[in-house]
Amino acid sequence: MLRSQRRRQIRNIGLLLLRIGLGIMFMLHGYPKVFGGPEMWSEVGSSLQSIGISAAPMFFGFMAGIAEFFGGLFLLLGLFFIPSVLFLLVVMLVATATHIGAGDPFTLYSHSIELAIVFFSLLFIGSGKYNLDKKLEKRRRRY
């Protein structure tokens, strides 16, 4: 009994550390995209041309930055966990497709594949015990 409780506790701490680490990294990657302004948004969005999306590069570049920055923040906090993980999964799948479409070597897109696998897995594993979604759910139940 104690062993299974201890394992759950360690698992929850592991999930918290994973969320914090990935969340910080995605915030760091998303920050320059969100706050880089129209030039940065267009540059990021223009990379989608390799997969046949040439319309509205500024919009798509900005949305990629928003998904990375706020997806990372929400992942870190364990807030809106499922939608955040889904957005980050889509960003990684699009990043992978963009690199493949551009003819880049595997080494340039292997990391986005790895992260897509992590996010896909998190959809099944969940956020763990320590997250704001659970805190807010408890608060909502009281009222």
For 48-63, write each residue's pLDDT tens digit: 999 988 899 999 999 9
Q: Does the structure show a pLDDT above 90 at 39?
A: yes
DSSP string, 5-48: HHHHHHHHHHHHHHHHHHHHHHHHHHHHHHHSHHHHHHHHHHGG
Local confidence band at 131 (pLDDT 50, 70, 90 cut-offs): very high
| Structure confidence by residue, pLDDT tens digits, 73-110 | 999 999 999 999 999 999 999 999 999 999 999 999 99
| Structure confidence by residue, pLDDT tens digits, 17-33 | 999 999 999 999 999 99
CA dist., res. 142 & res. 86, Å (int): 29
